[in-house]
Structure 1
Amino acid sequence: MTVEQEIEDYVASLPAAKQDDLRRLHATIQAIAPGCSLWLLDGKDESGKVVSNPNIGYGRLEIRYANGTSKPFYRVGTSANTSGLSIYVMGLDDRKYLAEAFGGRLGKAAVTGYCVKFRALADLDMGVLEELLRFGMADRENAD
């Protein structure tokens, strides 16, 4: 099965309102970064235990750990959660940047470290969200 089909199966498993918003968000990110790498993380650890919600990832960067190891990961991720949706912007050195740069302008969303949580896309200013997504998908120091 292709990652595109895995993503579609994941989205189709969600309630209708979340499906619509996640499809719209998916199309928006792909319009911003056409041809970017796609990921689907199923939320399970190595033993098969569910440890998080599934994530759709876009782009690629190298996550570097304090112990000197690294691994490839996505730049921007999206996920459905119990109260709505989340967007993750990875590879940030400044954990205050998202909240300071976008939080006050984005709309009804909780913006922390690298995560933006919201109930529905209708609660957000789409222009500001697209600006945030462009930032997330842009080349930064440790991104590939």
Structure 2
Amino acid sequence: MSIQEQIKDYINSQPERKRSDMQELHHRILSMMPDCKLWFLDGKNSENKTVSNPNIGYGLHTIKYTDGTTKEFYQIGMSANTTGISVYILGINDKTFLAKTFGNKIGKASVTGYCIKFKSLKDINIEILQEAIEYGFKASS
């Protein structure tokens, strides 16, 4: 199954409101970065044990670990969680940046060092979320 098919199946497996919100976000992210690399992680480790929620990834950046090793990973991620949707913005060095820059303007969302979590798109300012995602693409490019 292709990554696009896995993403489509994952989004379609969500309850209606979450499904339509995730579809809209998926299309918005792809319109910002139409040629970005797509990822789908099923949330399972090498022993096929569930270790996280499945997630969709967009873009490509290299994570550098303190021991000098590196790993390719996505820049922006999206995942369904028990109460709504999480958007991950990776590759930002300042772990207070997202909360300081977007936290007060985004609406009903929890904003941490690299994650913006909200119940529904109607609860947030989608333009502010889009600004945060665009910043994430630029910051980790």
The C-alpha deviation readout for 1:62-104, integer Å capped at 9, x for no partner, is: 0111111111000000000001000000112111000001000
Q: Which amino acid aligns with 2:70?
A: S
The C-alpha deviation readout for 1:90-131, integer Å capped at 9, x for no partner, is: 112111000001000011000001001100011111111111
Q: For residue 94 of structure 1, what is the aligned residue in structure 2? A: 94
| DSSP-derived class of the 1:87 partner | strand
Q: Which amino acid aligns with 1:93?
A: N
Instruction: Assess if the C-alpha contact under 8 Å between 2:84 and 2:119 holds in 1.
Output: yes
Q: Which amino acid aligns with 1:30?
A: L
Q: For residue 14 of structure 1, what is the aligned residue in structure 2? A: 14
Aligned counterparts of 1:139 and 1:50: Cα–Cα separation in 2: 30
| CA apart distance, 1:132 | 0.8
Q: TM-score, structure 2 length as denominator?
A: 0.97
Q: Which amino acid aligns with 1:13?
A: S
| DSSP-derived class of the 2:67 partner | coil
Aligned counterparts of 1:47 and 1:92: Cα–Cα separation in 2: 30
Q: Which amino acid aligns with 2:18?
A: K
Q: Which amino acid aligns with 1:120?
A: S
Q: For residue 121 of structure 2, what is the aligned residue in structure 1? A: 121
| CA apart distance, 1:60 | 0.2
C-alpha root-mean-square deviation of aligned residues, in Å?
A: 0.9
| DSSP-derived class of the 1:40 partner | strand
- Percent sequence identity is 46
| CA apart distance, 1:35 | 1.2
Q: For residue 75 of structure 2, what is the aligned residue in structure 1? A: 75
Q: TM-score, structure 1 length as denominator?
A: 0.95
Matches within 5 A, 1:1-144: 1-140=1-140, 143=141
Runs of 4+ deviating beyond 4 Å = none
Structure 2 unaligned segments of length 5 or more: list them: none
Aligned counterparts of 1:49 and 1:94: Cα–Cα separation in 2: 32
Q: Which amino acid aligns with 2:94?
A: D
The C-alpha deviation readout for 1:14-52, integer Å capped at 9, x for no partner, is: 111111000000001001111111000000111110000
Instruction: Assess if the C-alpha contact under 8 Å between 2:107 and 2:125 holds in 1.
Output: yes
Instruction: Assess if the C-alpha contact under 8 Å between 2:92 and 2:139 holds in 1.
Output: no
